[in-house]
Chain A
Amino acid sequence: MLLFIEQTLNGLQFGLLLFLLAAGLTLVFGIMDLVNLAHGSLYMLGAYFAATFTALTGHFIGGVVLALMATLLVGMAVEVIAMRRLYGRDHLDHVLGTFGLILFFNELVRLIWGPAGMNLTLPSWLNTSIELMPGVHYSMYRLSIIIVSLAVAISLYFVVMRTRIGMLIRAGASNREMIGALGINIKLLFTLVFGAGAALAGLAGLMQAAILTAQIGMGENILILAFVVIIIGGIGSIRGAFVASLLVGLIDTVGRAFLPDVLKLFLSNSAASTAGPALSSMLIYLVMAVILVARPEGLFPAANK
Chain B
Amino acid sequence: MKTIFTVRNVLVFGLLAFLAVIPAYADVTGNTFIMTLFTRIVILAIAAVSLNLIMSYGGMVSFGHAAYLGIGGYAVGILAFEGINSGFVQWPVAMIACGLFALVTGALSLRTRGVYFIMITLAFAQMIYYVGVSLDRYGADDGLTIYKRSNFGSLINLSNKTTFYYVCLVTLFATMYLVWRLVNSRFGMVIQGARSNDRRMRAIGIPTFRYRLVCFVIAGMMCGLAGILLANQADFVSPATMHWTRSGDLIVMAVLGGMGSVIGPVVGAVALLVLEETLPHIIAVVGHFVTGLEMTAAREYWQLVLGPMLLLVVLYARGGIDGLLRGGRRD
Contacts and interface: CB of A to CB of B under 8 A. Distances in A.
B112 A296 contact: yes
B303 A96 contact: no
A157 interface: no
B61 A100 contact: no
- Which range holds the interface residue count of chain A? 35 or more
A227 B119 CA distance: 7
Given A93-B314, A228-B123, A235 B301 contact: no
A91 B115 contact: yes
Contact of B307 (A29, A91, A92, A100): A100
A303 interface: no
Given A104-B307, A282-B130, 16 more contacts: A93-B318, A96-B310, A103-B303, A104-B304, A107-B301, A220-B245, A224-B244, A228-B123, A231-B120, A281-B130, A281-B133, A285-B127, A288-B123, A292-B111, A292-B120, A296-B111
30 contacts: A29-B115, A35-B118, A82-B315, A85-B315, A86-B314, A91-B115, A92-B55, A93-B255, A95-B61, A96-B251, A96-B255, A100-B310, A103-B304, A104-B307, A107-B307, A110-B300, A111-B301, A228-B123, A235-B116, A274-B134, A274-B136, A275-B134, A278-B134, A282-B127, A285-B127, A289-B123, A292-B116, A293-B111, A296-B113, A298-B116
Interface string A273-305: 011011001100110110011001110000000
A111 B124 contact: no
A296 B252 contact: no
A104 B61 CA distance: 24
Contacts of A297: 116
A275 B116 CA distance: 28
A289 B64 CA distance: 13
Contacts of A107: 301-304, 307
Interface string B240-281: 000011001001100110010000000000000000000000
Given A91-B61, A92-B251, A107-B303, A289 B130 contact: no
Nearest to B136: A274
Interface in A197-247: 220, 224, 227-228, 231, 235
A279 B314 CA distance: 38
A99 interface: yes
A102 interface: yes
B114 interface: yes
B308 interface: yes
A100 B306 contact: yes
Interface string A94-122: 01110111111111101100000000000
B127 A286 contact: yes
Given A89-B314, A95-B251, A99-B310, A227 B304 contact: no
Interface string A43-85: 0000000000000000000000000000000000000001001
The 6 A-B residue pairs with the shortest CB-CB distance in the complex, in nearest-first order: A278-B134, A104-B307, A100-B310, A103-B307, A97-B314, A107-B304
B301 A99 contact: no
B122 interface: yes
A286 B124 CA distance: 8
A275 B134 CA distance: 7
B313 interface: yes
A278 B55 contact: no
Nearest to B107: A293
Contacts of A37: 248
A104 B309 CA distance: 10
B28 interface: no
A223 B139 CA distance: 27
Contacts of A286: 127
Contact of B131 (A89, A111, A278): A278
A92 B117 CA distance: 12
Contact of B116 (A85, A231, A278): A231
Given A100-B314, A286-B127, A292-B111, A227 B251 contact: no
B108 interface: yes
B141 to A, nearest CB: 11
B60 to A, nearest CB: 11
Contacts of A103: 303-304, 306-307, 310
Given A95-B251, A99-B248, A100-B310, A106 B303 contact: yes
